[in-house]
Structures are given as C-alpha cells and as structure tokens.
Structure 1
Amino acid sequence: MIEVNDVGVIAGNVTLLAPISTSVQRAEALIVRGRNGTGKSTLLRVLAGARKPTSGTVRIAGAGVIERDRDFRRRVAAMIGLPPMASDLTVLDHVLLVATTWTEDSTAAAELTHGVLAELGLDSLDGRFPHELSSGQTQLFGLALVLARPFEVLILDEPEQRLDPDHVESVIRALRARRDAGATLVVATHSTSLADRLADRTLLLDAA
C-alpha cells in the first residue's frame, strides 16, 4: 500500500529526515519510533502530502502523493497536530460535519458520529465547545474528527499525547479495529504500550 524509496528531507543546512526506505502492506500497522528530532513527524508529513521530500519517492496505492488530488484525499487521512476547530461549534457539530461531508447518507453519518464519540469516550461531552475540553479530551476530539471519515491509510503523530492510561487503551482499541477492518496505519509514538499492542512492524529512526 505504501512504498517509500530513499526519502529524505533537508531544510537549508539542516537534515530533517535522513534518507530512508520502507514499505507498508495493506491492513498493516507500521509504528515509527525514535528520539525527538529524528524525523518522525517529517516522515508523516511527507506521507500525508503536507511536505515534499528533498530526495526519493513515495507511492501510496501505486500513485504519487498529491495532496490536492481528490482520490489521494479520500484514500489518506492524517492527524499531525490538532485539526482546526471552530469555537462556535460543539463537539457533536464538528464530528457530524466531518461525517456528513464524506457520507451522502445522513442517517449513516449520524450513526458514524455517535459511534466514534462513544468509542473514544466523548459521548457525554458532545454538547461542549472546544474551549471547554481538557487537553486530553481535546486530543481525543481531534482523533474523532479523523476517524469520522473514510480512509484506506491512516497517518497519526503521537495520538497518545496528553492521555491517561485508560484513554490510551481506548485509542489502541480504536486503531486496532481500523487495522483489522483493512486500513493501513502509520503511527509515530513514544508509547511502548501502544507500539507493543498495535505494531505489525516497527521503523526506528536514528539521529541524522
């Protein structure tokens, strides 16, 4: 599903990502690990189409990475940092908006919305506005916005940030369910628990 061939990123005189090659099969979870500054987030941005590599190539489902391409956007979902949030929309409004945007059936969109919120333990908070959430709740809310749309490839940067162990467990279950349903996952994480429970393979990045 994903082919990375000698991909590197340099900004000025700084190496953000030393050249690497790897591949990820369909319905496989690749965990990306390494110390801060080794290029984990940079690699994810390249895969998501948010940053062009200085060298090498990436292909997803046999096609190049083009963020503006409709097929690419439908195929690939990513959370690298928190997504935009509107101050005057509730948690439910946000997630339902995403689900409705990607699903023509309004009933299916509503079912998906409530299912994702319940899955991440946010159903009791669906009437709150973003500024009323704790940092951990905001992290889960951001993940809900990504999971409320269709995708074949899911790219996540440290989804465990700001979460207590119980909520990390909820995230692990949610991600395993997507992988088991056929999605391909690339997840950068510092969580040993998440890595051990989710990884089919691990990519360890070293300092450049």
Structure 2
Amino acid sequence: MIEMDDVCVTIGDVTLLAAVSVRARRGDALIVRGPNGAGKSTFLRVLAGVRKPTAGLVRIGGADVGERDLEFRRRVAAMIGLPPMAPDLTLHDHVLLVATTWARAPRLAVATTRDVLAELGLSGLSERFPHELSSGQTQLFGLAMTLARPFEVLILDEPEQRLDPEHVESVARVLRARRERGVTLVLATHSSALADGVGGQTVWLGAAA
C-alpha cells in the first residue's frame, strides 16, 4: 500500500527529512518515532501529499501522491494538526458535515456520525460548540472529524497530544480496530503506550532513544 524509496526533504543546506525507505502493506502500521526535529511531521506531510520530496519515490496504492488528485483524497485521510472548526457548528454538525460529504447515502452519514462520536466517548458532548471543549476533548474531536470519512490509509501526527493515559489507551483501541478492518496506519508519536497499543513496524528518524 505504501512505498517510499530514498525519500528526503531539504531546503538549501537544511535537511528536514533525511533519506528514508519504507514499505507497508494493507492493514500494516508504521509507527514513526524520533526526537523533536527528526522529521516526523515532514515524513507525514510527504505521505499526505502536502509536501513534495526533494528526492526519492513515494507511492500509495501503486499511484503517485498528490492532494489535488480525487482518487488520492478518497484513499488517504490525514490529521496533521487540528482540522478547521467553525465556532457556530456543534460537534455533531461538524462530524455530520464530513460524513455527508463522503457518504453515498444520508442514512450512512448519520450512522457514521453517531458511531464515531460514541467510539471516542464524545456522544455526551455532541451538542457543544468547539470553544466549549477542554484541550483533550478538542483533540478527540479533531480525530472524530478525521475518522468520519472513508479511507484506506490513515495518517496521524501525535494524536495523543493533550490526552490523559486513559484516553490514550482508548485511542489506541480505536486505531487498532481500523487496522483490523484493513486500514494502513501511519502514526507519529512520542507515546510508547500508544505505539504498543496500535502495534506495527517502528520507523526511527534521527537517533533512536
């Protein structure tokens, strides 16, 4: 599903991502680890099609990556930073909007919204507005919007941010369930608990610690 061959990103003399080569099949997980500044977010942005590599080959599902390609967008979902949130839409409104955009039938969008909010423990907050959430709830809400659409590859940058240990375990279960459904997961994290809970192949960038 994912092929990266000698991919690197540089700006002038500055290396944002040293050359890296990885492979991942359908249902695999790539756990991207490394110190701050090692290039984890750049690695994810290259896979998500929002940053072109300086050199190397990147393919997902046998095709070149590119955020403007419709088939690529259907195949790949990413949360690299929190998604945009409208102050006058409730959590339910946000998730339903995403689900409706991608669903083939309105009933499917409604069911997806209900299920995703429940999965992340947000059902009781569904009528709140984004500004009424705690930082941890906001993080879960961003993940809910990302999960509300179909995808074959899921790219996440430190989804454990702002979460207590209990919610980190919950997110690990949710992500592992996606793997079991055949989703290929790419996850940058500093959390050993999240990495262990999701499982998969560790990709070390920079010096391993």
TM-score range, shorter chain: over 0.9
Cα distance per residue 1:162-185 (max 9 Å; x no partner): 000111111011101100000000
Match of 2:126 in 1: 126
- For residues 115 and 57 of structure 2, what CA distance do their matches in structure 1 show? 37
- For residues 206 and 8 of structure 1, what CA distance do their matches in structure 2 show? 13
Match of 1:71 in 2: 71
Match of 1:41 in 2: 41
Deviating more after overlay: 139-148 vs 101-110:
101-110
- For residues 26 and 88 of structure 1, what CA distance do their matches in structure 2 show? 38
- For residues 153 and 40 of structure 2, what CA distance do their matches in structure 1 show? 17
Match of 2:204 in 1: 204
- The count of aligned residue pairs is 207
Q: How does 1:12-91 map to 2 (within 5 A)?
A: 12-91=12-91
- For residues 12 and 133 of structure 2, what CA distance do their matches in structure 1 show? 39
Q: How does 1:94-109 map to 2 (within 5 A)?
A: 94-109=94-109
Equivalent pair of 2:40/2:188 in contact (CA under 8 Å) = yes
| TM-score, length-scaled by structure 1 | 0.98
Partner AA of 1:134 in structure 2? S
- For residues 109 and 67 of structure 2, what CA distance do their matches in structure 1 show? 24
Measured on the aligned residues, the alpha-carbon RMSD in Å equals 0.8
Match of 1:11 in 2: 11
Q: Which runs of 5+ in 1 are unaligned?
A: none
Match of 1:174 in 2: 174
Partner AA of 2:106 in structure 1? S
- 1:74 Cα deviation (Å)? 0.2
Q: Equivalent pairs: percent with the same residue?
A: 70
Stretches of 4+ aligned residues off by more than 4 angstroms: none
Equivalent pair of 2:65/2:72 in contact (CA under 8 Å) = yes
